[in-house]
Amino acid sequence: MQQIFLEKIAYNRAVCDFCGACVAVCPHDSIELFEADLCITASCTLCKNCVYVCPVRALEIIDEG
């Protein structure tokens, strides 16, 4: 289990409800969801599916400007 937090996605644990919708739409199985924690692994391609599907908007792409 690789646990690499991509610096390009901000994860807001205080907002996350741990529902798993992001995991289900991830094309590369890049999200690990534990009981009350989530991490994004190296295979992420920044497709943003997780960002959009998240009911509470707990994930955000960090804009590099």
Partner 1 sequence: MKDNYDIVVVGAGPAGSTTARFAAATGASVVLLEKDRDVGVPVRCAEGVSEAGLTSVLDTIDERWIDNRVSDVMFHSPSGKIVELRFNQVGYILNRKLFDYDLAHMAIKAGAELYTKAYVYDLLRDDDRIVGIKFTHLGKKYKVKAKIVIGADGVESRVGRWAGIKTRTKMRDMETCAQYTACDVDLSSKHLHLYFSSRVAPEGYLWVFPKGEGRANVGLGISGEAAKKKSPFACLNEFMAERFPHASLLNCFAGGVPCDQTLATIVRDGLMLVGDAAHQVNPITGGGIAPALIAGKIAGQVAGQALNQGNVSAKAFQDYPRRWHKAEGRNHQIFYKLKNYIYKLTDEELDSIADAGLKVPKEKRSMITLFRAALIKKPSLILDAVKVFA
Report in angstroms how near the CB of residue 48 gets to partner 1 at its nearest. Answer: 9
* Beta carbon nearer to partner 1, 8 or 28: 28
Phi, psi dihedrals of residue 8, rounded to the nearest 5°: -90, -10
**CA dist., res. 25 & res. 29, Å (int):** 9
| Residues within window 5-64 making contact with partner 1, judged by CB under 8 A | 17, 19-21, 23-27, 29, 32-35, 49, 52-57
Nearest to 38 by CA among 54, 63, 62, 64: 54
Where do contacts with partner 1 occur on this chain (CB under 8 A)?
1, 17, 19-21, 23-27, 29, 32-35, 49, 52-57
